[in-house]
Amino acid sequence: MHKSMKTLLIAAASTVAMVATTMAQETPKTVGYIVNYATHEWYQNVIGGMQDRAAELGIELEVIDANLDIAKQVSAAEDFMARNVDVMIITPVNEEGAVPILRRAKAAGVPVVLEGNPVVGMDTLVAICDYDTGYNAGVEAGKWAKENLEGPVRVMNVGLPLLSATVLRSNGFMDGIRTEMPDAELVHDLDGGGNPDRAQEVSAAALAADSDINVIYGINDSSALGGLQAWRAAGLPEDNLLVVGTGGEGLAFLNEMAKDGPLQLEAAMFPEKVGFTSMDAAVAMFNGEDLPEHIVSPTHTLTPETALEFYDFDGESRQINWERVNELEAPDQCMKYASDL
Amino acid sequence: MSVTSDQSPTRQARGLSLGGLLRNEQIFLIILLAVLIVGLSLAAPRFMTAENATAILHQSAMVLIVAVGMTMLLITAEVDISVGASLAFASCVVMDVINTTSSLTLGILAGLAFGGGVGLFNGLVVTRLKVNSLIATIATMMILQGGVFLYTREAVQNHHQIEAFSLIATGYVGPVPVPVIIAALLAVVFYVMLNYTLIGRRVFAVGSNPKAARLSGLSPETIKLVAFVVTGILVGVAATILASLLNAGQPTAGRGFELIVIAAVLLGGTSLFGGKGTIAGTILGVLILKIIDNGIIILRWNQDLQIIVPGVVIILAMFLDQLRKGRTDG
Amino acid sequence: MVEAVRKPAADAAGPIIRMAGVTKTFPGVKALDDVSLDVMAGEVHALLGENGAGKSTLIKILAGAYRMDAGTIELDGTPVSFEAPADALAAGVKVVFQEIALIPEFTVAENIFMENHPRNPAGLVDWRTMRQKAQALFDRAGFALDVDAPVKDLSLSEQQLVEISRALAHDARVVVMDEPTSSLTPGEVEHLFGVIGRLRDMGIGIVYVSHKLEEIFAICDRATVLRDGRWVSTKPVAEHDHHSLIVDMVGREITDLFPKTRHQGGETVVSVKNLSTRNKLADISFDVRAGEVLGFFGLMGAGRTELAKAVVGYDPISAGEISIGGERLRPHNTGRAKALGIGLLSEDRKEEGLMLEADVTRNMTLPSLARFARAGFVDAGAERARAQTFVDRFRIRLASLDQPIRTLSGGNQQKVLLSRWLMYGLKAIVVDEPTRGIDVGAKAEIFAAINELAAGGLAVIMMTSEMPELLNLSDRIAVLAEGRMTALFDRDEATQEKVLNAAIG
Amino acid sequence: MQQSADTAAPAPARKADHRLFRGNLVALVVSLALVIGFFALATEHFWSLRNITNVLGQASILMCLTAGVAIVFISGEVDISVGSLVAAIAIPLIVIMNATGSLALGLGGALALGLLIGVVNGYLSVYLKINSLIVTLGTLFIIRGLVYLYTGKRAIADTVYLESFFQLGNGRLWGLIPYPALVAFALVGGLAVLMTQTRFGRKVYAVGGNAEVARLAGYNVRRIKFTCFVISSLAATVGGILLASRLGSAVHVAGLNYEFQAVAAAVLGGVSLAGGIGGLIGSALGVLILAFVSNGLGMMSAPTEWQLVITGAIIIAAVALDSAKRERA
């Protein structure tokens, strides 16, 4: 899958303005990426995008997995600094816990690109706009609901209060849906832990208490599909239900969309593109370029029809359609940031 | 107080005194359960509905399936911490094998075989290499948590779309969810096995006094090994349900599952030191923990309480157990 | 054999310790009922009684390990209260228990100063001073022990000396010795008596707990006798003879205790050839015939229990072969042994016999369960009925078959365990110290049962350290020393002296 | 001959248990050397002063936790609540520091909470006689839940940026030895002296070796065990403080699963679950072995899954070898 992607990457590269400038300059020898959770599909695709871009540019990419252990993330940064990597890319396990890493990296003179979550004292962050992603999906969901759903909009949010990013998504979704359906009510605001089994369990209990909802929003696909599975396990009818997923990190959403069931909207965030952009930002940092504090990676709300424009899906694997993805425009600024919470 | 005489068919000489009632752990748990149900019904009108009762049973099913095996294992004075990690791995195996073979039967068998295989490995490490089962199964847990990602980098999706597969978790027989029926059947089987059969009696004997059991011609190692394998197979059963429930094999699932299972079994009055335990107690333990879980969500309390309350309940239950023991021992 | 080292009790104004009206009840048992004991400085005071008479309970109260329900303890005429072992130690009372109370991983010196490690000015343990003090103690008491040896490497008698040294290190005024000679060779016993003499010369009061009468006459000044938890008598040993002591202890003549039955040997049932184990036994061979009692005698550590466990397939063997009824015990495990018809009645009921929380029925039917099973299901009715026949046959006293076995007395527990094997039906049984911790009345019943078994054609192998039991019950007597069989006597040719000589090895 | 306080003294002919540095530690030291040697040869970046000192700093937190857990094990009890404790004590530390600007007050607050947790664990286990595995399993849940409740599952940032606090977890002595490593070594060393060279420590070994013997020797067994729980919590608190400094915040998910790692390291270091056996130097070596394995595999770019598999296998192998050795003896 990655090899075929390479050819597409070359075409894609020229469309990114920033890349054009970095290509002309020096590239770092080694880049170290500290991923917070490499066993998650989202990050596997981020790494995939990063690896391919690195290979493209002739950069050696090293990856250390913090495996959700914040202390291990600090250790990984130390290890990279001991190995004299030229640039570090970090997806913080926790925003506050990464502050000393940045201080130490600065002292050691190693530039850092953050991915995903902002940290106090950072230089630059490559991330999607979480609030905007949720908001846009909310607007689409509101439109869909107007046409297809009976009764007032009642939402079950399978959320993750753990991270500000996921809180922004949920808030954005509710704000967005209310632009179309001002009476939309948040019936259940759940902590689904971001993983499918917990999401399923929490949703099942919530649905047993009150199953009078017609929209399930999940802050990632695991949460959305966990909520949907709980709905199914409760034996509820699927004809007056809209499920909105977020992320598009793996195959699960494509699989579900292929069935043309209640999952009608997916706020896709294109992890491959995030990895790609992060690598380019690392190169720019290495060259001492002046980067914006927030480099936005684009997102887009997919429907079962448009999903296949962005991803080729054969039931077993998916391939990103770079041409289509690179047509997307990302805003310079997000509507809301974590600091606005 | 005596091993399983609460269920003994030949129960005779026990007076129904107040002290006797207090000493009977099941009664205590039933009272606790009743208090919970009444309290929650009063506090949240939506608690006492058929839908919610069904949901609670549904949630309890997977825990109970593994908990009955864990009860048997704890009675032999061993423990298995790896069940959560094994659950996740086995659910991936189930889905993968069905995807590959398009056979529901083969997939389920593969799940059971995988769970049983993990149980066999644990059992052999404990009985042959003489590694303390707590340590051995913590290590197995690590190996499985790592191993599952060597097996699959991502969730194993449902590519087979076999209709019957999704019914395992989400189907109903009348008003009763299928997993609840599976769990109930297994609970009955294990109840009968532990109380009325040769193997059940041997399980208790090995846990009560392994040396006496050996001198009586039994092989404690073999019986413990069987208990590990049986627990593992039950993990396979639960994994099949989990894969169906999530419509995918999830390598990240099952975190903390082992602690909930063990907590429920201990709450049910099974001893950590072997020789003592009942399926009825385990059922009550699972229900109590799951009702607490459910109640917290229904009452819209902070979900963080879901990890605090079980902790308090277990310590409290053990404390009351200690008080009762103190009284009988004089 | 034993040198008399008796010396008149030192004249003292009054007793160091006086216990009076001591009463202690355990659930279901009144262990002590109004018992008194006083100990003078420089006397050796025997505390006598059969198993279950209350000796252990009394000295545990004196050690502060148990708290009494009623009664008083006076130290130099002042009432004191022993709430915990620390109080007794502070009062100068040191009990040397039969089960040695040392930490095996610690050195000799550290064990001696366990209560009170010497410290240097920095507050850290002063190992040098500790070793010097220990050495000084040994020099004073005449013990030849290495202060740096870990206790786990010492023999039992050496460990006992460490215990006594602990008492000396504490400037104990009263030393209680609980059956100190039960694990010693005659030479070691003699040495111990020397030590006791020296302690007495130091003005220490000694309570000497034993039921070996010759030792009492050899070293004790006064004797207090307990029976069934009650005080019977306290008088100078000089006023006693064997007969009067026994009468005080047993309360009746005990001639009927050992029914002297002679069994006719039938076919060979158990045949052991060149048996060795890795740790203990070396090259042991013997045969046992149906209907015969083969008694094995040996001192502590001679390998009796090891032999018992090896013969029934419990412990692994390194060489040799065991045949039961002409068939090899192979594979060497208890399952095969049971199938061939041999089983063990263990010396340690609690650790290796009983399922304490389980009821009487379940304890009794453990090996026979398969008999009561149909298609894997246990027929509880048949099981109970069968158990009831044994309860009747051995007159096992219980309230109900559903009673947890831990609530039964030691004798009744032993009868249940014996029934366990009788129910199964063996060709040969190994009984290891069958009367340990059992009261006198029940002892006779156990003996009668063993005789009955042999008369019924069972081959019986009996391990014992009790000389009377050995000489009266056995048809033949084998003697173990240091893991080897050193003698085999016919009943008529065996005497106490011959057996002991063989046991010393 | 028995100059116990002096580790450099020639080994006495007989094995004596109270020496600070015991014979069976040799095996652990050799294992550690083999691990380091292997990775030094197998990977490029492993064998550098910077990396080796890095690992010492990284291992410091688990060293503190493991020291406490080992002491409780030696006393014959179990403490698995330390993973949650690490997250809990960072809260008063950061909150007080933010409010007062004083590191000392923050440390005081952290130690006070650690003390409280130790007292609760000890009281429930020892005085209410509830099995300590259950108690600390319960408090593991409860403390984590309370941390989530209090923080709303959000990390609390250090907003005063005290240099002293930053240096505590991130600085290096002479630019070389990480301060957290120094703190951990001092703690382990101090506790090792406590366990081997003081009356209290010797009593802990006796209590764990045979509680009844210890009781007969006049020890207050309950108080000794209780004290062990308190020490364990305080040692874990020190680890938690170091972690909080390295994270510059009180992170609610800090220390997840550390209890398992600490138990594994202690057992690997020769501490018996049965009590009375093992020591703190051994436990610390156990931590270092696991830390160097983890670092080395990271340097080889081995994925997390392999690290988990290898760690699990090491634990089973170590305990199996140990029990085989004991059986032969």
Chains A and D touch (3+ CB pairs under 8 A): yes
Residues of A with Cβ-Cβ distance to D304 under 8 angstroms = 38-39, 65, 67
Query: pLDDT band for position A10 (50/70/90)?
Result: very low
With an 8 Å Cβ cutoff, is B305 touching chain D?
Answer: yes
| Phi, psi at D250, each rounded to 5° | -95, 105
Fold of the A2-127+270-297 domain: Rossmann fold (3.40.50)
According to the model, what pLDDT value does residue D329 have?
Answer: 54
Residues of B with Cβ-Cβ distance to D312 under 8 angstroms = 138-143, 146
Report the alpha-carbon angle C186-C189-C193, nearest 5: 140
Distance CA C398, CA D159 (A): 73
Nearest CA in chain D to C66: D216
According to the model, what pLDDT value does residue C29 have?
Answer: 66
With an 8 Å Cβ cutoff, is A39 touching chain B?
Answer: yes
| Phi, psi at D89, each rounded to 5° | -70, -20
The token pair that represents C296 in the structure block = 């094995």
Q: Which pTM was predicted?
A: 0.83
According to the model, what pLDDT value does residue B146 have?
Answer: 87
**E runs forming strands in C102-157:** none
Q: Give the DSSP letter of residue B232.
A: H
D27's CB contacts (< 8 A; 6+ apart) are: none
Sign of CA dihedral C361, C367, C368, C373: positive
**Average of pLDDT values for A157-170?**
87
**Ordered per-residue pLDDT tens for chain C, 505 residues:** 334 444 444 444 678 889 999 998 876 567 888 999 999 988 999 998 776 678 888 988 998 888 888 899 988 888 988 888 888 888 888 888 877 788 888 899 999 888 888 888 888 989 999 999 999 988 877 778 888 988 888 877 788 888 888 888 888 889 998 888 776 777 778 888 888 888 888 888 999 987 677 788 888 999 998 887 889 889 898 888 877 877 787 765 545 555 556 666 678 899 999 999 987 888 999 999 988 899 998 876 788 889 999 999 999 999 999 999 888 988 899 999 999 999 999 888 888 889 988 889 999 999 998 889 888 898 989 999 999 999 998 888 888 888 888 888 778 888 899 999 989 988 999 999 887 767 666 777 888 888 888 888 889 999 987 777 888 888 899 999 888 999 899 888 888 778 877 876 6
Whether residue B27 is contained in a domain is answered as no
Chains that touch A (3 or more CB pairs under 8 A): B, D
Cβ distance B61 to B241 under 8 Å? yes
In chain A, ranges of CATH 3.40.50.2300 domains: 2-127+270-297, 130-268
Cβ distance D279 to D22 under 8 Å? yes
Residue from C258, C300, C332 nearest C503 by CA: C300
H-only helix segments in D210-303? 211-216, 221-247, 258-268, 280-299
Chains C and B touch (3+ CB pairs under 8 A): yes
CATH of A130-268, picked from 3.30.200.20, 2.40.50.140, 3.40.50.300, 3.40.50.2300, is: 3.40.50.2300
With an 8 Å Cβ cutoff, is B3 touching chain C?
Answer: yes
Residue from C125, C147, C124, C143 nearest C134 by CA: C147
**Average of pLDDT values for B295-315?**
80
Chains D and C touch (3+ CB pairs under 8 A): yes
Residues of D with Cβ-Cβ distance to A94 under 8 angstroms = 155, 247, 249, 251, 253
Residue from C275, C257, C261 nearest C318 by CA: C275
Contact B294 A235 (CB under 8 A): no
Q: Which residue has the tokens 């939402």?
A: A155
Per-domain boundaries in chain D: 25-32+45-322
Query: pLDDT band for position D91 (50/70/90)?
Result: very high
Cβ distance C443 to C435 under 8 Å? yes
Distance CA B134, CA B33 (A): 30
D306's CB contacts (< 8 A; 6+ apart) are: B146, B150, D297
Chain C closest CA to D114's CA: distance in Å? Answer: 26
- Determine the structural domain holding residue B287 and report its residue range: 60-322
**Average of pLDDT values for B48-67?**
89
According to the model, what pLDDT value does residue C252 have?
Answer: 59
Residues of A with Cβ-Cβ distance to B250 under 8 angstroms = 195-197, 222
According to the model, what pLDDT value does residue C13 have?
Answer: 61
Domain count, chain B: 1
Q: pLDDT for D237-291, tens place per residue?
A: 999 999 999 888 888 888 888 888 898 899 888 888 888 888 999 999 999 999 9
Contact A74 D153 (CB under 8 A): no
Query: Is the model's pLDDT at B307 over the cut of 80?
Result: no
Domain harbouring B95, CATH code: 1.10.3470
Query: Is the model's pLDDT at B17 over the cut of 60?
Result: no
Prediction ipTM score: 0.80
According to the model, what pLDDT value does residue A133 have?
Answer: 93
* CA-only gyration radius of chain A, Å: 20
According to the model, what pLDDT value does residue C257 have?
Answer: 53
The token pair that represents D204 in the structure block = 């802990």
Q: pLDDT for D8-60, tens place per residue?
A: 333 333 344 444 445 578 888 988 999 899 988 888 778 888 888 888 988 99
Interface list for chain B against chain A, based on CB atoms closer than 8 Å? 44, 46-47, 49, 51-52, 54-56, 58-59, 149, 153-155, 157-159, 166, 169-170, 172, 177, 242, 245-248, 250-255, 293-294, 297-298, 303
Cβ distance A315 to B159 under 8 Å? yes
Distance CA B172, CA B194 (A): 29
Residues of B with Cβ-Cβ distance to C376 under 8 angstroms = 197-199
Cβ distance D291 to D61 under 8 Å? no
* pLDDT higher at B179 or B254: B179
Chain D closest CA to B143's CA: distance in Å? Answer: 4
Give helix D221-247 / helix D49-74 axis angle, nearest 10°. 150
Fold of the D25-32+45-322 domain: ABC transporter involved in vitamin B12 uptake, BtuC (1.10.3470)
C268 sits in which H/E element: strand C268-276
Chain D closest CA to A72's CA: distance in Å? Answer: 8
Whether residue B28 is contained in a domain is answered as no
What is Dmax (Cα atoms) for chain B?
63
Candidates D69, D129, D305: best to mutate against B (most CBs of B within 10 A) is: D305
* CA-only gyration radius of chain B, Å: 20
Chains B and D touch (3+ CB pairs under 8 A): yes
Contact C402 B198 (CB under 8 A): no
Q: pLDDT for A225-251, tens place per residue?
A: 999 989 988 888 888 999 999 988 888
**Average of pLDDT values for A53-74?**
87
| Residue C318: Cβ within 10 Å count | 12
- The mean pLDDT value of chain B amounts to 85
Residues of A with Cβ-Cβ distance to B166 under 8 angstroms = 232
Residues of D with Cβ-Cβ distance to C89 under 8 angstroms = 217-218
Cβ distance C36 to C235 under 8 Å? no
| Residue D176: Cβ within 10 Å count | 9
Secondary structure percentages of chain D, helix, strand, coil, to 5: 70, 0, 25
Query: Is the model's pLDDT at A13 over the cut of 50?
Result: no
Chain A closest CA to D3's CA: distance in Å? Answer: 39
Candidates D197, D198, D207, D210: best to mutate against C (most CBs of C within 10 A) is: D197
H-only helix segments in C404-474? 410-424, 440-455, 467-473
Query: Is the model's pLDDT at B305 over the cut of 90?
Result: no
Q: Give all domains of chain C, ordered by start, each with its CATH number.
A: 17-254 (3.40.50.300), 266-504 (3.40.50.300)
- β A87-90/A112-115 pair status: parallel
**Average of pLDDT values for B178-206?**
94
**Average of pLDDT values for A253-276?**
90
**Average of pLDDT values for D165-172?**
84
Name residue A127's beta-bridge partners.
Answer: A296
The token pair that represents C206 in the structure block = 């000694």
According to the model, what pLDDT value does residue C462 have?
Answer: 93
Distance CA D326, CA D320 (A): 10
Q: pLDDT for A185-221, tens place per residue?
A: 999 999 888 888 889 888 988 888 888 999 999 999 9
